[in-house]
Amino acid sequence: MDIHEYQAKEILAGFGVPVPRGGLAYSPEQAAYQARQLGGDAWVVKAQIHSGGRGEAGGVKVCRSEAEIRDYAQSLLGTQLVTKQTGAGGKGVYRLWVEEATDIAQEIYLGFVLDRKTERIMIVASGHGGMAIEELAESDPDSLVRMVIDPATGLVEYQTRELAFKLGLKGKQIGQMVTMLRACYRAYRDLDAMMVEVNPLAITGTGDLVALDAKMSFDTNALYRRPQVEALRDTSQEDAREAMAADNGLAYVGLDGDIGCIINGAGLAMATMDMIKLAGGEPANFLDIGGGASPERVVTAFRTVLTDPKVEVILVNIFAGINRCDWIAKGVVQAYEEVGLTIPVVVRLSGTNVEEGRRIIETSGLPLISAETLAGAAEAAVAARPHPVAAE
């Protein structure tokens, strides 16, 4: 789960990271008011969306008067901001962050990420901030400093000093960087984060370190024990289908094809999508209904898949262990009755109570297409499409 810049800054400030003063605005008038409250003669107005690259896309501007702030806010609020990370649809701008301008002498990149290769938290830093880490890795790979944190000891002080030295910091900046690193690490560890990024971390004209931008992502599976983090969720920044699925305990990822997939188990879902591609089709989604799915849960899965207007056929592929094929079959029949399905549905069942599940499908009197194998189900789904999407 991602959160907004202002939320990440509030969290990090609570752990001891210095950030510029700022205020949140939902209207041009509020934006101008926040600037007036902050004082000064220059302010930075930032679109709050879950994406990087806002500056290049016109989502960040330095303003020098309240009138300029109002005009900029008016032009930005309610629009879809398209960045290199959002895709063509962009992200809706419904909040602005207005903060005091900072005298910047140098920009540093600082990130805490999960390195799956070493199964450790890794610090990635560079003396050239203000750019995405991918751009830094390509344009100046030698500038990147990587440091792995041992979970048995946590981040130890000699590591923080070593990193500060490698970034060329001096004097009071070394102590400030030690504080910054330890604060970011505690925020990452204590809140089950997946990523903490400060970019840029500015060295000001007075030589102090200040986090000018911040991003945080969190482990969705750990949100049940982090209600204070879950409360920061902004569904307006999420795919509506994925948000609907998450609210109903389903794992869903939208894709670009026309064959909707309702499957149990991530491995089986991946194999099913591969078979659809092999048969010449394109999956419209990844949807895992999980174990122990009731008929009602199956109906919810159908409703979720059908929110995608591109879906022209649905493939139900269940290998029942904890699940039961008769529950799934009842759910498919119930979905026809409640949702009013008009598109082809291919059903492949295997495992617990498979005979009863197949009997329910066969005696339902509904135009369901049965298949005994995964390959056969994928081929039947591809063949049933009235307007096929061309495979890449």
Residue 248 assigned ligand-binding role = no
In degrees and rounded to multiples of 5, residue 243 shows phi and psi of: -65, -45
197 part of the active site: yes
Residue 342 assigned ligand-binding role = no
Q: Under DSSP, is residue 48 helix (H, G, I), strand (E, B) or coil?
A: coil
- The catalytically annotated residue of 5, 197, 312, 379 is 197
Residue 55 assigned ligand-binding role = yes
Residue 99 assigned ligand-binding role = yes
* Residue 343 DSSP one-character state: S
- The catalytically annotated residue of 6, 109, 188, 252 is 109
Residue 102 assigned ligand-binding role = yes
List the helix and strand counts (H, then E) for the chain.
13, 18
Residue 317 assigned ligand-binding role = no
Residues 22 and 100: beta-carbon distance below 8 Å: yes
Question: Could you give the C-alpha distances from 39 to 22, 29, 63, 92, 153, in angstroms and in order?
Answer: 10, 16, 13, 29, 44
242 part of the active site: no
Q: Are strands 193-204 and 214-218 parallel, antiparallel or unpaired?
A: antiparallel
* HSE-up (13 A, CA, CB side) for residue 255: 20
Residue 199 assigned ligand-binding role = yes
Residue 117 assigned ligand-binding role = no
Residue stretches of the annotated binding site for substrate = 264
Residue stretches of the annotated binding site for ATP = 46, 53-55, 99, 102, 107
Residue stretches of the annotated binding site = 46, 53-55, 99, 102, 107, 199, 213, 264
Residue stretches of the annotated binding site for Mg(2+) = 199, 213
Active site residues per annotation: 109, 197
